[in-house]
Amino acid sequence: MGLTSVLFGGKLRIALAALLLVGGGVAGAFAMGVLGVPSVQGVDNRFAGVNETATVIESEVNVANPNPLSANLSGVSVDYTVSMNGLEMVNGEKDGVAIGSGETAIPLQTTLSNDRIPAWWVSHVQNGEHSTLRVDADVSSETLGRTFEAPEISRDIDTDLLSSFNSTETRKVNADSAVVSDPVLYINETSAEWGEATEDRTALELTFVVHNPKPYPVAVSELGYNISMNDVDVGEGATESGYVIPAESTKTIEATTYIENENLDDWWVTHLERNQTTDLRIDFYAKLDAAGTTFTVPLDPLTYEKTFETDIFGTKAESDASTSADSSSAPDSSGESTTTQSGETTTEQRDATTTESDSTTETTTASPTPTPTPTPTPTPTPTPSPTPTTTESGGTTTDDGLL
């Protein structure tokens, strides 16, 4: 009896829906509750290619239709936006979509202009190396006269590029010059923090505690630097003012270095080509005046290296790293590309389960480790200890349109 009732009820519902579809139309069937309301289940995303100017993002908006018969809705459109720290990165739309019974994955392709990356970078640094990714999607039906919104989708993206520069490890500076014996200086401490981030450049404020073991002053007339990310030069220059370190004394040297933001779109290409992985490197040199001689010294012991990763859409762990976005899958005239599968995490899912994908993962590549530093000749002023110690710190688009 129960089965008969179910079958009869189902047939009656289908028959009633059919009559309403003929008589009152689909909108009337939904309005009377005979047909269920479709819903947006979520959005899956993946990077699908990158070239010098643009990044392709392929998405699938998953729509569920709970009705037993096909509600082939006409006039369905999809609108989709990705923003980071409130900055709209991509926006796309698609019209003329048909939604059948069950679940339908609506494909959508949007294009991110790489020149949006510097603005995002500035917001990321200003926000303490933190970004909030937000995905907004909705499906509108002209027939039903209503819009079905997707669940809120957001992710936290965090990096930590500078903390490992903070160190109390003593490192010696050798001049390799016949006019002065080595070591000519000791670097007893280093630290770094982000300075002002403007539209044009991002400042890094560096501090060095330097000890002069010589019985005469040593002047640092220039401190130069080169900053690269995945071998892309993003900043280089030299300090404008010099420092004099008195004989057998310790002095703190402060220097401001800069990342030129106009170079960051070139870095972004390499970041995606390497499956969202970047090697940061900062090299230093100094011009010293000592014993009546001026010479340039590469500060190899101060070379700073850091590897960091991002997982923008939160599913990189599910992707095959060997098929990550590269130049071979860059956008072309046909708009087709090949890449790995990605997806999104809804607010409900993130509240229920916390995984490592909710933030970036990072590894630090240690700078070259100097050989144990012998104790400098005892002096009345503080000198580095024989055994160094280290403190670790840890435009709207269409399917093939352009932002």
Q: Of 45-54, 67-76, 175-184, give the lowest mean pLDDT range.
A: 67-76
14 and 114 fall within a common domain: yes
Instruction: Identify whether 323 is part of a domain.
Output: no
Query: How many Å apart are CA 23 and CA 16, to the nearest integer?
Result: 10
**pLDDT higher than 60, residue 240:** yes
Q: Dump the DSSP string for 88-101.
A: EEEEEEEEEE---S
Instruction: Identify whether 337 is part of a domain.
Output: no
Q: Of 282, 313, 344, at which residue does a domain stop?
A: 313
32 and 119 fall within a common domain: yes
Among left, alpha and beta (phi > 0; psi -120 to 50; other), residue 164 is alpha
**Under 8 Å between Cβ of 235 and 260:** yes
**Under 8 Å between Cβ of 365 and 306:** yes
DSSP assignment, residue 371? P
Per-residue pLDDT tens for 50-108?
999 999 999 888 888 787 655 556 668 899 899 999 999 999 888 888 887 788 898 99
The CATH number of the domain holding residue 102 is 2.60.40.10
Q: Which two tokens stand for residue 262?
A: 């106009």
Instruction: Identify whether 286 is part of a domain.
Output: yes
Q: Which residue has the higher pLDDT, 308 or 102?
A: 308
152 and 197 fall within a common domain: no
**pLDDT confidence of residue 92:** 87
Which segment, 143-157, 198-212, 372-386, is predicted with the most confidence on average? 198-212
Instruction: Identify whether 180 is part of a domain.
Output: yes
Question: Average pLDDT in the 111-132 region?
Answer: 97
Q: Of 284, 313, 342, at which residue does a domain stop?
A: 313
Question: Average pLDDT in the 126-150 region?
Answer: 87
Q: Of 46-60, 266-280, 346-360, give the lowest mean pLDDT range.
A: 346-360
Strands 249-260 and 201-212: antiparallel
**pLDDT confidence of residue 260:** 97
Angle subtended by helix axes 264-273 and 117-126, to nearest 10: 90
Q: Which of 280, 61, 273 is nearest to 160 (CA)?
A: 280
Q: Which two tokens stand for residue 204?
A: 């890094």
38 and 115 fall within a common domain: yes
Q: Which residue has the higher pLDDT, 42 or 349?
A: 42
54-65, strands of its sheet edge to edge: 39-50, 54-65, 102-113
Please state, for a pLDDT cut of 90, what percent of the chain lies above it.
49
Query: Is the alpha carbon torsion for 196, 50, 358, 232 positive or negative?
Result: negative
Contacts of 333 (CB under 8 A, 6+ apart): none
Per-residue pLDDT tens for 244-266?
999 999 999 999 999 999 999 99
Per-residue pLDDT tens for 316-350?
765 554 344 343 444 543 333 333 333 333 333 33
Q: Which two tokens stand for residue 165?
A: 């520069």
59 and 123 fall within a common domain: yes
Chain-wide mean pLDDT for the chain?
Answer: 76
Question: Average pLDDT in the 366-377 region?
Answer: 40
Q: Of 23-37, 133-147, 389-403, give the lowest mean pLDDT range.
A: 389-403
Instruction: Identify whether 110 is part of a domain.
Output: yes
Contacts of 336 (CB under 8 A, 6+ apart): none
Three-class secondary structure assignment of 106-145? EEEEEEEEHHHHHHHHHHHHHCCCEEEEEEEEEEEECCCC
165 and 110 fall within a common domain: no
Residue in the structure block whose two tokens are 């005979």: 34
Contacts of 39 (CB under 8 A, 6+ apart): 63, 64, 66, 148
Q: Which residue has the higher pLDDT, 109 or 242?
A: 109
Greatest extent of the chain over all pairs of C-alpha atoms, in Å: 107
202 and 93 fall within a common domain: no
Q: Of 135, 156, 177, at which residue does a domain stop?
A: 156
**pLDDT higher than 80, residue 371:** no
Instruction: Identify whether 334 is part of a domain.
Output: no
Instruction: Identify whether 171 is part of a domain.
Output: yes
Instruction: Identify whether 300 is part of a domain.
Output: yes
216 and 121 fall within a common domain: no
Question: Average pLDDT in the 189-199 region?
Answer: 97
Segments forming the whole domain that contains residue 14: 9-156
**pLDDT confidence of residue 381:** 40
206 and 221 fall within a common domain: yes
DSSP run (H or E) holding 235: strand 232-238
39 and 168 fall within a common domain: no
Among left, alpha and beta (phi > 0; psi -120 to 50; other), residue 14 is alpha
221 and 106 fall within a common domain: no
175 and 122 fall within a common domain: no
Q: Which two tokens stand for residue 23?
A: 């008589």
The count of structural domains within the chain is 2
**pLDDT higher than 60, residue 356:** no
What pTM did the predictor assign?
A: 0.73
- Residue 28 binned pLDDT confidence (cut-offs 50, 70, 90): low
